[in-house]
Amino acid sequence: MSESEPERTTDRDEAETLPTGASSVVTALEDAGVEAAFGVQGGAIMPIYDALYQSDIHHVTMAHEQGAAHAADAYGAVTGEPGVCLATSGPGATNLVTGIADADMDSEPVLALTGQVATEMVGNDAFQEADTTGITRPVTKSSYFASDPDTVGDTVGEAFALARDGRQGPTLVDLPKDVSNAEDVARPGPAEGPETQDIPDEADAEEVSRAAHALADAERPAILAGGGVIKGEATDELRQFAVDHGIPVITTMPGVGAFDETHDLAMEMAGMHGTGYANMAITHCDVLLGVGTRFDDRLTGGVDTFAPEAEVIHVDIDASEISKNVHADYPLVGDASTVLRQLDDALPRSPDAAAWRERCAEWKDEYPMDYDAPEDEPLKPQFVVEAFDEATDADTIVTTGVGQHQMWAVQYWTFTEPRTWISSHGLGTMGYGLPAAIGAKVAAPDQEVVCFDGDGSFLMTVQGLSVAVRENLDLTVCVLNNEAVGMVRQWQDAFFEGRRMASEYPWGPDFATLAEAFGAAGFTLDDYDDVADTIAAARDYDGPSVIDCHIDPREDVYPMVASGGANGLFALQEEHL
Amino acid sequence: MTGELPGPAPEERPHPSGRRNKQGIRIDPQAEAEPEIRREVLSALVDHEPGVLAEVSGLFARRQFNIESLTVGPTATDGLARMTIVVEETGPGVEQVKRQLRKLVPVHAVRELDAATERELALIKVGDDDPAGVAAVAEMYGGEAVEAGPEVVTVELTGTESEIDAAVEAFERFGVREVARTGTAALAGGTEFTAHETHDNE
Ligand SMILES: Cc1ncc(C[n+]2csc(CCOP(=O)(O)OP(=O)(O)O)c2C)c(N)n1
């Protein structure tokens, strides 16, 4: 900072009016408790940045707006409060879109603020104009166009509250330059969600009672815990309920972390790459209590064969999820923790499910997640994931890209705490891992952050290393490098007779050298003997480090349920597909 | 390729015999019937502001809801507009439409109307070769000529959607040049409110 740089002071606290629309935006953020924001500068958003200059909000300058949105998303996933991202108009805003869509699919609270050309230029195809609200409307809870400088701060507050409350998700406020630059504007009030949105809390008592009786009468009950359990802060209630009543718990992918995977009742993740035992349990249960899940097709497989003998109790805070994909015999619209308490109170007795629990335990023995790791062959990714898990604390946050490495991470890391598994579930966005690790580390500086990435995914947002270096974020990226977009290669082998079109790239960079070029620490790992030491060295490094881990390029992900297939028919090897 | 896991192969496992239909409802395969498509009239009270129509129509497009018509206009309350939406969906489909609509921020209330007063307005432009014939058909359907000649007559009429369908067909013999229809507008019958702030949770 140069001597002549103006001092960062604020005298806005007591004022009735604020100097500019932009200062009203920043005041609204401060009043809402925002501590960090991720963004990239540019013409139309400059007034907002100028107001941020005076603020205590920690702004993390990103290298690409997609990364800003992913970082905000992960920040939201870790803290439960909306992550904030900023971008300029036009290309800045369109670069955000992938990250916003990702947050929308995973119900992550994100507030995006975009600059826009001056109101009178809108519609003229002005320089760097894009119809940001139009483009983002389908992928947000709501996309606001700020038209009045006196209410722009309230609009930002409303968008913040909307992102946070009810079923969480992204919102956006588009800020025309003239609105941001307008002078002497009204001070915003406290952040309040829109009056048209009621947020359900308790579910209908009669429906709860019917559901509770169905559950009590079940012989093969199972809980399916989705991401809503974590977002609804209901993990304690869920654990209590499952343990008190002896009900096995299956999770969706976003639900990983909702139930301690070391518990006897944990069946872990079901679905396309879920465990065999979870898929057996979900296929054979007779009452399925789904909490905070949208029964996505990667979980259900073909709906015709999904839990075909189960009565479904569906707890969700979003009424539009009820019977959207799978019919709910007992729809319970409400807050996950409240409804779990209601169910507990209404349950006449615990289900008599000892035989079923035994069956579930047998499935765990019958379908273990055991892999071969011969010393004389290339490294197995599963081994590396397990070694990392062993080396780190339980509260370590794991982020990933999308592909095989993501599945090995979720399968072979043992998750015991909520908000430690941060991934791109619904949209499946390659490139999510590193910016998410940045967002997670900013959100939780005291927790260790490990990103498992694929070589393909890492290349999509690798520029984020410059951000991690500048912010001196102590995070570790482990690239499970198979010199291919491996998940595509796996599908080509299984479903396209091995025609590997555009999926193998052995000419990828040396990621250790690349990391060093950015100013991060780089390591290369290709031998079982070095796994522990390399992990230790990378973790010890004070700052971002990258391990280029050369894994067996032939390794496939199993179990696998073919797309649209029956969960109970999960393949354990290619011949089963 | 490698990566196989131990365990019984798919054909060695027990498999339940139950099935679900496309709506995810458990079924008796013998008795499975395709769910019936219904025509339902929905009324929504919405903010009267730019972008709301785009938001609602975008929702219908991206979720592949089948709509037959959508009309919108101001109400007696400043700042609020009423949309009447005629959908053709299965029972679960209609429920989805309502729930998705309620999630939109500018939507205050949504209601399905059963015993509603439904009307649509149509302008029908026909040839004027047989003015007496046109007048007679117009009268039969309660319409009137609002503009006459040269060469064409424009008839205005209101009625239910099926009445208008019938009228347009009746006018065919005079040579229908163009038709403009508003789509159905509807209000709940009697003293009931159509869609009101308090209806949001129905
Ligand atoms: C942005 C984006 N583009 C394309 C895809 C399609 N896709 C899904 S998985 C995958 C392979 C990812 O390769 P890599 O990151 O190297 O991970 P691996 O599967 O090898 O572990 C691809 C291309 C995607 N999910 N996201």
Q: How far is the CA of A458 from the centre of ligand 1 (A)?
A: 10
Q: How far is the CA of A406 from the centre of ligand 1 (A)?
A: 10
What's the DSSP call for residue A546?
Answer: E
Q: How far is the CA of B93 from the centre of ligand 1 (A)?
A: 34
d(CA A419, CA A30): 24
B83: distance to nearest CA of chain A, Å?
Answer: 16
Q: What angle do CA B147, B151, B153 make, to 5 degrees?
A: 30
H or E stretch at A475: strand A475-481
Q: Which two tokens stand for residue A54?
A: 């005076």
- Interface contact flag, A554 B15, Cβ < 8 Å: no
d(CA A295, CA A99): 22
Point out the ligand 1 atom lying closest to the alpha carbon of residue A458: 15
Nearest to A547 by CA among A529, A527, A524, A530: A524
Task: Note whether B202 and B111 are within 8 A (CB).
Answer: yes
Contacts of B40 (CB under 8 A, 6+ apart): B86, B87, B88, B89, B94, B112
- The 10 Å CB-count burial string (b at 16+, else e) for A344-373 is eebbeeebebeebbebbeebbeebebebeb
A403 in ligand 1 pocket by Cβ < 6 Å? yes
| Structural domains of chain A, with CATH | 17-186 (3.40.50.970), 205-366 (3.40.50.1220), 381-558 (3.40.50.970)
A381 in ligand 1 pocket by Cβ < 6 Å? no
A485 in ligand 1 pocket by Cβ < 6 Å? yes
Q: Which two tokens stand for residue A472?
A: 């001196």
Number of residues written out for chain A: 577
CB count in 10 Å sphere of residue B25? 18
Check if B20 contacts A (Cβ < 8 Å): yes
Chain pair A-B, CB pairs under 8 angstroms: 132
Q: In chain A, which residue's Cα lies nearest the Cα of B21?
A: A304
A487 in ligand 1 pocket by Cβ < 6 Å? yes
CA A188 to chain CA centroid, Å, is: 31
Q: How far is the CA of A403 from the centre of ligand 1 (A)?
A: 5
Contacts of A398 (CB under 8 A, 6+ apart): A409, A413, A415, A420, A421, A422, A423, A450, A451, A452
* Model ipTM value: 0.91
A397 in ligand 1 pocket by Cβ < 6 Å? no
Q: Tell me which residues of A are annotated as active site.
A: 65, 127-128, 177, 487
Nearest to A200 by CA among A316, A108, A297: A316
CB contacts of B48 in chain A (<8 Å) are: none
Check if B63 contacts A (Cβ < 8 Å): no
Nearest to A381 by CA among A551, A512, A535: A551
A contact test, residue of B15, B20, B22 with most A CBs within 10 A: B20
What DSSP assignment string belongs to B147-186? EE-SSEEEEEEEE-HHHHHHHHHHHGGG-EEEEEE---EE
The confidence band for B201, taking pLDDT boundaries of 50, 70 and 90, is very low
- What pLDDT, on a 0 to 100 scale, did the predictor assign at position A8? 54
The confidence band for B50, taking pLDDT boundaries of 50, 70 and 90, is confident
Report helix, strand or coil for A376.
Answer: coil
Q: How far is the CA of A54 from the centre of ligand 1 (A)?
A: 41
- What pLDDT, on a 0 to 100 scale, did the predictor assign at position A403? 98
- Interface contact flag, A326 B24, Cβ < 8 Å: yes
Distance, first Cα to last Cα, chain B:
55
Q: How far is the CA of A525 from the centre of ligand 1 (A)?
A: 22
CB contacts of B58 in chain A (<8 Å) are: 137-138
Q: Where are the beta strands (DSSP E) in A82-194?
A: 83-87, 110-116, 142-145, 170-176, 183-186
Report helix, strand or coil for A264.
Answer: coil
Task: Classify residue A14 as exposed, middle or buried by CB count within 10 Å of its CB (0-12, 13-18, 19+).
Answer: exposed
Check if B105 contacts A (Cβ < 8 Å): yes
Q: In chain B, which residue's Cα lies nearest the Cα of A317?
A: B103
A456 in ligand 1 pocket by Cβ < 6 Å? yes
d(CA A74, CA B10): 38
Point out the ligand 1 atom lying closest to the alpha carbon of residue A482: 20
Report helix, strand or coil for A7.
Answer: coil
Check if B154 contacts A (Cβ < 8 Å): no
Q: What angle do CA A90, A92, A96 make, to 5 degrees?
A: 115
Q: How far is the CA of A84 from the centre of ligand 1 (A)?
A: 26
Which residue type is seen at A40? V
Which residue type is seen at B26? R
A429 in ligand 1 pocket by Cβ < 6 Å? yes
Nearest to A265 by CA among A239, A291, A288: A239
Q: Which one is predicted more confidently, B2 or A23?
A: A23
CB contacts of B92 in chain A (<8 Å) are: 323, 327
Cα separations in angstroms, A354 against A83, A135, A248, A286: 44, 53, 11, 14
- The 10 Å CB-count burial string (b at 16+, else e) for A453-465 is bbbbbbbbbbbbb
Q: Given a cut of 80, is residue B30 above it in pLDDT? A: no
CB contacts of B20 in chain A (<8 Å) are: 303-306, 308, 326-327
What's the DSSP call for residue A321?
Answer: G
Q: What is the pTM of this model?
A: 0.95
Which residues does residue A194 pair with via DSSP β-bridges, in sequence order? none
H or E stretch at A570: none
Task: Note whether A40 and A61 are within 8 A (CB).
Answer: yes
| Structural domains of chain B, with CATH | 38-114 (3.30.70.260), 117-186 (3.30.70.1150)
Task: Note whether A250 and A276 are within 8 A (CB).
Answer: no
What DSSP assignment string belongs to A15-73? -SEEEEHHHHHHHHHHHTT--EEEE---GGGHHHHHHHTTS--EEEE-SSHHHHHHHHH
A540: distance to nearest CA of chain B, Å?
Answer: 31
- Interface contact flag, B20 A138, Cβ < 8 Å: no
Check if B55 contacts A (Cβ < 8 Å): yes
HSE-CB for A109 with a 13 A CA cutoff = 24
Contacts of A2 (CB under 8 A, 6+ apart): none
- What pLDDT, on a 0 to 100 scale, did the predictor assign at position B199? 52
d(CA B16, CA A281): 11
Query: What pLDDT tens digit does each residue of chain A (577 aa) get?
Result: 444 555 555 555 556 899 999 999 999 999 999 999 999 999 999 999 999 999 999 999 999 999 999 999 999 999 999 999 999 999 999 999 999 999 999 999 999 999 999 999 999 999 999 999 999 999 999 999 999 999 999 999 999 999 999 999 999 999 999 999 999 999 999 999 999 998 999 999 999 999 999 999 999 999 999 999 999 999 999 999 999 999 999 999 999 999 999 999 999 999 999 999 999 999 999 999 999 999 999 999 999 999 999 999 999 999 999 999 999 999 999 999 999 999 999 999 999 999 999 999 999 999 999 999 999 999 999 999 999 999 999 999 999 999 999 999 999 999 999 999 999 999 999 999 999 999 999 999 999 999 999 999 999 999 999 999 999 999 999 999 999 999 999 999 999 999 999 999 898 999 999 999 999 999 999 999 999 999 999 999 999 999 999 999 999 999 999 999 999 999 999 999 9
Q: How far is the CA of B111 from the centre of ligand 1 (A)?
A: 44
A479 in ligand 1 pocket by Cβ < 6 Å? no
d(CA A510, CA A209): 60
What DSSP assignment string belongs to B59-79? HHHHTT--EEEEEEEE-SSTT
Residue with CA nearest ligand 1 atom 17? A454
d(CA B87, CA A56): 51
Report helix, strand or coil for A198.
Answer: coil
Count helices and strands in chain B by DSSP H and E runs? 4, 11
Q: Which two tokens stand for residue A124?
A: 């003229």
CB contacts of B96 in chain A (<8 Å) are: 320, 323-324
CB contacts of A319 in chain B (<8 Å) are: 99, 102
Average pLDDT over residues B181-196: 89
- Interface contact flag, B51 A569, Cβ < 8 Å: no
Point out the ligand 1 atom lying closest to the alpha carbon of residue A403: 19
- What pLDDT, on a 0 to 100 scale, did the predictor assign at position A11? 53
Report helix, strand or coil for B25.
Answer: coil
d(CA A216, CA A429): 41
HSE-CB for B193 with a 13 A CA cutoff = 13
- Interface contact flag, B25 A327, Cβ < 8 Å: yes
- The 10 Å CB-count burial string (b at 16+, else e) for A126-158 is bebbbebbebbbebbbbbbbbbebbbbbbbbbb
A80 in ligand 1 pocket by Cβ < 6 Å? no
Q: Which of B58, B99, B105 sits opposite A197 (nearest CB)?
A: B105
Task: Classify residue A249 as exposed, middle or buried by CB count within 10 Å of its CB (0-12, 13-18, 19+).
Answer: buried
The most distant pair of C-alpha atoms in chain B lies apart, rounded to whole Å, by 86
A338 in ligand 1 pocket by Cβ < 6 Å? no
- Read off the pLDDT of residues B144-188 as tens digits, 9 standing for 90 and up: 999 987 899 999 999 999 999 999 999 999 999 999 999 999 999
H or E stretch at B110: strand B107-113
A430 in ligand 1 pocket by Cβ < 6 Å? yes
**Among A479, A485, A492, A557, residue to substitute to test ligand 1 (most atoms within 8 Å of Cβ):** A485
Task: Note whether A214 and A288 are within 8 A (CB).
Answer: no
Task: Note whether A548 and A535 are within 8 A (CB).
Answer: no
Q: In chain B, which residue's Cα lies nearest the Cα of A158?
A: B105
